[in-house]
Chain A
Amino acid sequence: MIKNRKQQWLIYGGLIAASVMVLYPFFFMIMNSFKTGSEIMHAPNAMPQEWSFRGYIEVFKAIDLFRIFGNTIFVASAITFLNCLLSSMVAFAIVKTNMPGREFWLKMILSSMMIPGILFTIPVYMMMYDWGWINTFRALIIPGSISAYNIFLLVQFMKQIDNAYLEAARIDGAGEFRIFFKIVLPMLRPALATVGILTFMNAWNDFMGPLLYIRDDSMLTLQLALFKFQTNVPGGNLEQLWAMTTMIAVPVVFVFFFMQKNFIKAFTGVGVK
């Protein structure tokens, strides 16, 4: 800890400068969303001359933004729900039962994390194609419904639950299902929040999945819709583009500020011994 006053000021100065550099692009994003198209082009540095809401109005006319938000919320929620349920079931089987081969399964799950995702792009696409899953939400949800990383995180958390609770319940004659749903899941709530937030964010920000599997405009998710909108008429729909970018980015940042502890926990789950 640096006690020296001058050095403390230096550190705060550095942190403020870094924060400005991080936030400056977002400031521009919001400013641009209230500018008119020609101002965005010709006065990139200036504040809005007159505050215009045209971009926000026009973008709703140009695309079915409600539907796209709805699609994304549906897909991301389904993935998050399934991940929380299925990954904690697997973690329960590994940590809290005396099933044979638990060490083996855990090792297998951990080593599966070492296989790079890129390997699966083509074969999984071909599987989806054969099954007729192209252009369905199933193609996004089912392969993302469970993850080795989430199981690993939940295994770590589940180890901290005292077995005495489970023993007591078993003596009282509770079945394993009851124990899992009534005792373990409620106790895992903080861990599930962490896992859920990370999963939801990844699903919300996913680009590659929708790019590969979604064809209809009515089934677009936010990230792909934003990309298509950007490439649609280069320079021709600037106001709408910035309004849409702001509407996609701001809610996420907002939620983050309220739940930052869970976010940061999710990111420190691995790598820190």
Chain B
Amino acid sequence: MKFKEHWVAYLFLSPWVLFFLVFLMYPFFLSFQNSFLDINVLNPENTRFVGLGNWITVVSDGKFWLSLFNVLFNQIIFITLSFVVALLAALMLNEIEFMASLFRTILFVPVITSITVAMIIFDFLVSPVGPIQENLQSIGMLAAPVFWKFEQWLPMPMIALFSAWKWFGVQMIIFLGGIASINKSLYEAADLDGASWWRKVTKITLPMIKPQIIFVLTINIINGLQMFVEVFMNFDLQGGPYNSALTPVLHLYQTGFEQMKMGEASTIGLLLAVIIFVLTTLQMKITAKGD
């Protein structure tokens, strides 16, 4: 391939270079710089250098750690639930041919629905006067309506339940892709040995789709730590009862846009980015070792 002049190539690359400089590099340095400053957007002339002040405030403020605890609590429930459902759905879809694509499409519908729409529906379904609680009461499984938004330990599990309904489809599709690429002769050999379905799943399918499983876990953690709309829709900026629905991003939003402390908010963002980055790198290291 001969291509005498590179200028066209550079021209074609330039959108990325511009984007990188303006929307990745510059804000990165800005947020680094901000984390040492005390800034109020409304009166920027009062900006002053506070050194590690913001970092000390954020780290010593229990709210940051509480918000991390909340998302991790949420993610443990969400990941377990959605993983099991997605894997089961993928295994079932893999066994059938007739109408497989229809079922796959239906199970994927929540993924394409916006969080706003899905949350309004979910909110109605599980509300104290909603259909689910009414049914549970009429068959005697629930004594009194549960006001989950006012209980300290319910918001995160409820949101995890919602997220599992909304997102299991993505994981299911990724698992299906993994299962499809497994060499069929492995199963034939297992069949000759008279292996049971369960044994084939645990000894062949699961080990073979390990890359997909690790990918899904990584994506979940990255997204989970950045949860915002779900809690904002339900609790506005309040963070739920006893701050039990406060997520790091909500904490950042409160600090930056309610209290107008942009420096401190930048620090929260930077700290969270570092945590996510470390977790992702760790995940990748583990995957690389396995291969």
Contact = CB atoms under 8 A, between A and B. Distances in A.
Interface of A: 1-2, 7-8, 11-12, 14-15, 18-19, 21-23, 25-26, 28-29, 32, 41, 44-45, 86, 89-90, 92-94, 96-100, 105, 108-109, 112, 114-127, 129, 143, 145-146, 151, 163, 166-167, 170, 175-177, 180, 201, 204-205, 207-208, 211-212, 222-223, 226-227, 230-231, 241, 245, 248-249, 252-253, 256-257, 260, 263-264, 267-268, 270-273
A103 B15 CA distance: 17
Interface of B: 1-3, 6, 8-10, 12-13, 15-16, 19-20, 23-24, 26-28, 30-31, 34, 39, 41, 85, 88-89, 92-93, 95-96, 101, 103-118, 120-122, 124-125, 129-131, 134-135, 165, 170, 173-174, 177-178, 181, 197, 211-212, 215-216, 219, 222, 225-226, 228-229, 232-233, 236, 248-249, 252-253, 256-257, 262, 265-266, 269-270, 272-273, 276-277, 280-281
Contacts of B9: 93, 97-99, 176
A148 B212 CA distance: 21
B3 A208 contact: no
B12 A93 contact: yes
B173 A45 contact: no
A112 B24 contact: yes
B120 A116 contact: no
Contact of B134 (A23, A45, A114): A45
Nearest to A90: B16
B226 A205 contact: no
B265 A122 contact: yes
B181 A273 contact: yes
8 contacts: A18-B85, A120-B24, A127-B27, A180-B12, A201-B112, A208-B229, A245-B117, A256-B105
B121 A123 contact: no
B177 A268 contact: yes
Nearest to A163: B1
Nearest to A177: B8
A28 B106 CA distance: 16
B120 A241 contact: yes
Given A122-B262, A272-B177, A28 B117 contact: no
Contact of A108 (B20, B23, B249): B20
A13 to B, nearest CB: 10
Tell me the dominant secondary structure on chain B's binding face: helix
A123 B96 contact: no
Contacts of B165: 21-22, 25
Contacts, number: 261
A117 to B, nearest CB: 7
A19 B103 contact: yes
Contact of B6 (A12, A97, A272): A97
A272 B2 contact: no
Contact of B120 (A19, A124, A166, A226): A226
Given A18-B89, A44-B130, A227-B116, A2 B215 contact: no
The residue among A100, A117, A212, A267 with the most chain B CB atoms within 10 A of its own CB is: A267
Given A44-B129, A176-B8, A208-B229, A268 B174 contact: yes
A44 to B, nearest CB: 4
Contact of A170 (B2, B109, B112, B225): B2
B226 A117 contact: yes
Contacts of B211: 271, 273
The residue among A11, A100, A231 with the most chain B CB atoms within 10 A of its own CB is: A11
A18 B108 CA distance: 11
Contacts of A23: 106, 109
Given A14-B88, A22-B106, 12 more contacts: A18-B89, A21-B165, A44-B134, A97-B3, A97-B9, A99-B9, A114-B281, A120-B269, A121-B252, A123-B31, A125-B256, A207-B116
Given A93-B10, A99-B10, A118 B173 contact: no
Nearest to A112: B24
B20 A264 contact: no
Contacts of A126: 30, 34, 39, 41, 262
B13 A223 contact: no
Contact of A207 (B114, B236, B277): B114
A92 B273 contact: no
B199 to A, nearest CB: 14
A1 B95 contact: yes
A26 B252 CA distance: 33
A252 B280 contact: no
